[in-house]
Structure formats: structure tokens, C-alpha cells
Amino acid sequence: MRFRYRSVISMDSVTGAQLLLMRPEIPITVVGSRGCVTYSALVDTGADNVVFPRSIADQLGIDLSPSQRSEAVGFGGGSVALLCGTTTLEIADATSVLRWSSQVLFSDCQPQDDDVILLGYFGFLEFFQANFDGLRGWLELLSNHRLPLDKTISSRN
């Protein structure tokens, strides 16, 4: 499956001038008991887990429980409370769809301005061979035998 990177407006750290960056953000659909919604999510090889904002679980009807890994810590030492839930995830490109169930983490950020969606190792990257083409802005994902497919690998053609 192939996905285009997303362009985002950023700022040059030295001059302060605006510039465009590319990020490997891909659409991912979260399926809960009360519906499904698609989000743009950052594929992050440095993240241990898949992390969504808690509001997604609350709105889509995903049951949460305390996580054994109760907080996320990033660079600089700030921490975010985490909850755990099992949900169905789906990615799709022009030709195929992959859907699987996975245990993921939900962050309880306050303020919610800090919300991020990360596709890290457990629940996502563990299931794929990933090729990041930073020059051309493409992410290629090839699923491996560990992907616990729920439903389909279907061709859209």
C-alpha cells in the first residue's frame, strides 16, 4: 500500500520564515461500537505504541481500562496519562483495504490542545515492512504475517 506524505506549514528555526515540511501522515479509520471516523495520523517509528486522544474512544464507544503502561513520556520528560482499549483499525489506498483489531492507547491530554495521533510499533508498525521515501514523499507499507486481519485484504479493482 502506498500513501503520500502530508505537507504541513512550519517555521524555520533560525530565520522564522515559513516553510513547508513533509510528514508521513496517513489516513486511518477507527471503528467503534458507535461508528467509525477517519483521522490523519503520523507514522512514528520512534513511538512504542499507537496513541489516540481519549475523546475518540469516548465518542466512538470504545471501552477503556487502565493501562499497565500508565503514562507516556516524551523528550523533555513531560508525561501524559494513558488508558488502554481494543479497537478496529483500517487503512486503505487506491487498490486495497486492510482492517484489523488491536489494543491501542488513548491519551488523556489536558489541555486537549496537545492531542496527537501516533502510529507506533505495537498495534501498527509491528505488522508492516515500511519504506519511507523522504525525497519523494511516499510511504510504502507491506503487511507481514503477524497482521491479525479482522476482515479483508480486498482489492478495490
Partner 1 sequence: MNPSVDPSVIEDLPKAAPVEFAGQWVAWNREQTEIIGHGSTWMDARQMAIEGGSPDPILQKVPRPESVFIGARR
CB nearer to partner 1: pick between 1 and 117? 117
x/- letters, 116..145, toward partner 1 (CB under 8 A): xx-----------------xxx--------
Contact between 81 and partner 1 per CB under 8 A:
no
Contact between 39 and partner 1 per CB under 8 A:
yes
Rounded to a whole number of angstroms, the CA Rg of the chain reads 16
d(CA 61, CA 56): 8
CA 47 to chain centre: 10
| Residues forming a β-bridge with 30 | 37, 89
Least distance in angstroms from the C-beta of 10 to partner 1 = 5
Residue of the chain from 14, 33, 46, 148 that contacts partner 1 (CB under 8 A): 46
Contact between 153 and partner 1 per CB under 8 A:
no
DSSP-derived letter for residue 126 is: G
Residue of the chain from 88, 96, 97, 109 that contacts partner 1 (CB under 8 A): 109
The C-alpha angle 47, 48, 50, rounded to 5 degrees, equals 80
CB nearer to partner 1: pick between 144 and 151? 151
Q: Is 66 helix (H, G, I), strand (E, B) or coil?
A: strand
CB nearer to partner 1: pick between 69 and 144? 69
Q: For the chain, what is the total number of helices (H) and then of strands (E)?
A: 1, 13
Strands 79-92 and 65-73: antiparallel
Site residues for partner 1 per CB under 8 A: 4-13, 17-22, 25, 27, 37-40, 42, 44, 46-47, 53, 55-56, 59, 72, 74-76, 78-80, 109, 112-117, 135-137
